[in-house]
Chains A and B, each alone.
Chain A
Amino acid sequence: MTDQNWSILIPEIFLFIWALFIFGLDLGIKRKNPKILGYSAMAGLTITGILLAIFNGGILFKGMFQSDQLAIFFKVIFIGSAFMAVGSSFDIASEKIRHHRGEYYGLILFSTVGMMFLSSASELITLYIGMELTTIPLYVLAAFYKDDKLSVEAGLKYLIVGAFSSAILLYGLSLLYGLTGTTDIVTMKINLSLVFLSYGKIGPGLILAMIMVIAGIGFKLALVPFHMWAPDVYQGAPTPITAFLSVGSKAAGVVAFARIFVNGLIAFASDVMKPLDWGIIVAILAAAAMILGNITALRQRNIKRMLAYSSIAQIGYVMVGMVAASELGIASVGYYMFIYLFANMGAFTIATIFNDKTGSDGIISYSGLSKTSPIFAAYMSIFLLSLAGIPPLGGFAAKYLVFAAGIQAGYTWLVIVALLTSVVSLYYYANIIKTMYFSAEEPTIKIHPSFPANLVLLISVIGIILFGIFPGPILDWALESAKIFAF
């Protein structure tokens, strides 16, 4: 045990202690100055990011904790989404959350810690616990406006669906454990190949295990047909939490999916292995997600519901890269999530600020925004166009990479579906832009975001434009992170 490099745990431990510190700070300042809490949460996340850059690369606890490039890449996404969620919470923290500000920020940090542990887990038990550690704080956060009926209802629905899906996931994991006799994902891979080589078949038990794990993680990802909770929860939850759910929690699901399927069950991702080919199952689900998400988003009147359906569709695009199960595929998934972080967090931040100002989430109330708050409207347009995948914004490069990976892996039909549905998606994204710029109604609302919210918006816009024009650095990093899987 002496040769182990314990320092790679420092970022997680630091963030955990910092969350406890925020609970204490809330008591210490006696709720006089709520901004201090938010700033200290942001500072804690920044320091964690710096610590992550210093202490990384290594394996602890016999491979249960892996601080590899994939984990680091996704940890940056988690920290980024938590940072932006905290940054856009300042207004609601001074108004709607009077009683539990410290706990609000602390639980966001706890959930981030859970995601970080999850992304490092290469063993089923740790993975399951990491998943729970990610979602349990989110149940509470979704219901954080305790007097608001919608918010409590959202929290409850999320809790029931989340607990149900985690039970399904656990059953799937137990079958995987039974089939392979191990909980370690790498050993699992070896044992499965041994069984396969000795008997020439594995039997349908593995299909059952895979379907259950796909269903369990699919609920977290809001992948069709496990998406029905998402619009309600997204609409009812506090908007910064919705943003965090749609980016952080989804990225956590994506990395868990990659660990189990692309690492452990990689051997079953080809046509030869039919009917054990998980690629085709996930490809069908991804196609369903893109079609259903985009078409339902067309007729939404509430911006949070619209963004919910759009994020259901977005996860379909991510899964196109995942089913490719190649180095380019995983790299494109990473890059997509990175850009999605900026675009979606930005769009939700604007929805938060707008709701604070007007109390409305209706798309129609955005009409004429460009006349009173031109910068604000421009920001929103950039986020939406990036989500739609218009060059030269980041979303275009992300979609391009995902599609390239899909075609390379032979999923041409899936890429055609994806292309057609992106055209559909352009309609409802452009509809909001049209409402903001070309509405005849006289605008009355003028918006002044707080400094942290402005910072979040600025970071998002710069991220989208910069990494859209120069995708090189992020893409190289994502390719590096994809190398940890032996393809």
Chain B
Amino acid sequence: MVPMPHYLILSALLFAIGAAGVILSRNLLIMFMSIEVMLNAANLAIITFSRFLNVMDGHVFVFLVMAIAAAEAAVGLAMIITIFRNRGTIDADKFNLMKW
């Protein structure tokens, strides 16, 4: 039997890796993939809680989060295509016409 904190610590680790990816990476695509990792870290936490509370509400939550992630990814990738056409690059550091 695996104790619950194991799962939660893994989820925290994945969340931290995802956050690191968004902050450190310069490639927009990798930034997006890191956001997917963060969402999945939250999914893992929800599934863990759901299992240990012995209720299935969390599964529905994760199901819907996946749909939302798909929607976000679709819009995000379309936006990446647009900006690539516009600028010819997906280097996040190049998008500094306005200062951050």
Q: Note whether A and B contact each other (Cβ less than 8 A).
A: yes
Q: A146-B82, A232-B98, A232-B100 are in contact. Are A171 and B76 (CB under 8 A)?
A: no
Decide: B39 and A153 in contact? CB cutoff 8 A. Answer: no
B37-87 residues at the A interface, CB under 8 angstroms: 38-39, 41-43, 45-46, 48-49, 53, 55, 57-58, 60-61, 64-65, 68, 71-72, 75-76, 79-80, 82-83, 86-87
Decide: B86 and A171 in contact? CB cutoff 8 A. Answer: no
Point out the residues of chain B lying under 8 angstroms from A125, CB to CB: 60-61, 64
User: Nearest Cβ in chain B — how far from A445, in angstroms?
Assistant: 25
Point out the residues of chain B lying under 8 angstroms from A152, CB to CB: 79, 82-83, 86-87
Point out the residues of chain A lying under 8 angstroms from B75, CB to CB: 136, 139-140, 159
Give the distance in Å from the alpha carbon of A125 to the alpha carbon of B61 in the complex: 6
Report if A416 contacts B (CB, 8 A).
no
User: Nearest Cβ in chain A — how far from B7, in angstroms?
Assistant: 11
Report if A177 contacts B (CB, 8 A).
yes
Decide: B71 and A136 in contact? CB cutoff 8 A. Answer: yes
Point out the residues of chain A lying under 8 angstroms from B38, CB to CB: 164, 167-168, 171
B83-100 residues at the A interface, CB under 8 angstroms: 83, 86-87, 92, 95, 97-100
User: Nearest Cβ in chain A — how far from B6, in angstroms?
Assistant: 14
With CB as the reference atom, state the residue of chain A lying closest to B57: A183
Give the distance in Å from the alpha carbon of A150 to the alpha carbon of B53 in the complex: 48
Q: A152-B82, A153-B97, A236-B98 are in contact. Are A163 and B42 (CB under 8 A)?
A: no
Option from B41, B57, B79, B100 in Cβ contact (under 8 Å) with A171: B41
A162-201 residues at the B interface, CB under 8 angstroms: 163-164, 166-168, 170-171, 173-175, 177-178, 181-183
Report if A132 contacts B (CB, 8 A).
yes
Report if A156 contacts B (CB, 8 A).
yes
User: Nearest Cβ in chain A — how far from B14, in angstroms?
Assistant: 10
Decide: A160 and B22 in contact? CB cutoff 8 A. Answer: yes
Give the distance in Å from the alpha carbon of A153 to the alpha carbon of B80 in the complex: 10
Report if B28 contacts A (CB, 8 A).
yes
Write out, one digit per residue, whether chain A residues 121-139 have a CB within 8 A of any chain B CB (1) or not (0). Answer: 0001100110010001001
Report if A155 contacts B (CB, 8 A).
yes
Write out, one digit per residue, whether chain B residues 1-43 have a CB within 8 A of any chain A CB (1) or not (0). Answer: 0000000000000010011001000001001100100110111
With CB as the reference atom, state the residue of chain A lying closest to B22: A164
Option from B43, B71, B95 in Cβ contact (under 8 Å) with A156: B95
Give the distance in Å from the alpha carbon of A253 to the alpha carbon of B35 in the complex: 21
Chain B binding site: helix, strand, loop or mixed by DSSP? helix
Point out the residues of chain A lying under 8 angstroms from B41, CB to CB: 171
Give the distance in Å from the alpha carbon of A156 to the alpha carbon of B78 in the complex: 10
User: Nearest Cβ in chain B — how far from A131, in angstroms?
Assistant: 9
A78-131 residues at the B interface, CB under 8 angstroms: 124-125, 128-129
Q: A129-B64, A136-B72 are in contact. Are A178 and B95 (CB under 8 A)?
A: no
Give the distance in Å from the alpha carbon of A311 to the alpha carbon of B69 in the complex: 29
User: Nearest Cβ in chain A — how far from B88, in angstroms?
Assistant: 11
Report if A149 contacts B (CB, 8 A).
yes
Point out the residues of chain B lying under 8 angstroms from A147, CB to CB: 86
Point out the residues of chain A lying under 8 angstroms from B53, CB to CB: 178, 181
Option from A160, A174, A182 in Cβ contact (under 8 Å) with B46: A174
Decide: A171 and B42 in contact? CB cutoff 8 A. Answer: yes
Report if A375 contacts B (CB, 8 A).
no
Report if A313 contacts B (CB, 8 A).
no
Report if A143 contacts B (CB, 8 A).
yes
Point out the residues of chain B lying under 8 angstroms from A229, CB to CB: 100
Report if A381 contacts B (CB, 8 A).
no
Decide: A177 and B49 in contact? CB cutoff 8 A. Answer: yes
User: Nearest Cβ in chain B — how far from A171, in angstroms?
Assistant: 4
Point out the residues of chain A lying under 8 angstroms from B18, CB to CB: 167
Give the distance in Å from the alpha carbon of A129 to the alpha carbon of B75 in the complex: 16
Decide: B61 and A155 in contact? CB cutoff 8 A. Answer: no
Point out the residues of chain A lying under 8 angstroms from B61, CB to CB: 124-125, 174, 177, 183
Inter-chain pairs besides A124-B61, A163-B76, 14 sampled, C-beta below 8 Å: A125-B61, A136-B75, A149-B87, A152-B83, A156-B80, A160-B35, A164-B19, A166-B72, A167-B35, A167-B39, A168-B38, A177-B58, A181-B55, A235-B98
Interface residue ranges, B against A (CB under 8 Å): 15, 18-19, 22, 28, 31-32, 35, 38-39, 41-43, 45-46, 48-49, 53, 55, 57-58, 60-61, 64-65, 68, 71-72, 75-76, 79-80, 82-83, 86-87, 92, 95, 97-100
28 contacts between A and B (CB under 8 A): A125-B60, A129-B68, A139-B79, A143-B79, A150-B98, A152-B79, A152-B82, A152-B86, A153-B95, A153-B98, A156-B28, A156-B83, A156-B95, A157-B95, A157-B100, A163-B32, A166-B72, A168-B38, A170-B65, A174-B61, A177-B46, A177-B57, A178-B45, A178-B48, A181-B49, A181-B53, A183-B57, A229-B100
**Leading 6 A-B pairs by shortest Cβ distance:** A178-B49, A167-B38, A170-B42, A174-B45, A171-B42, A232-B98
Interface residue ranges, A against B (CB under 8 Å): 124-125, 128-129, 132, 136, 139-140, 143, 146-147, 149-150, 152-157, 159-160, 163-164, 166-168, 170-171, 173-175, 177-178, 181-183, 228-229, 231-232, 235-236
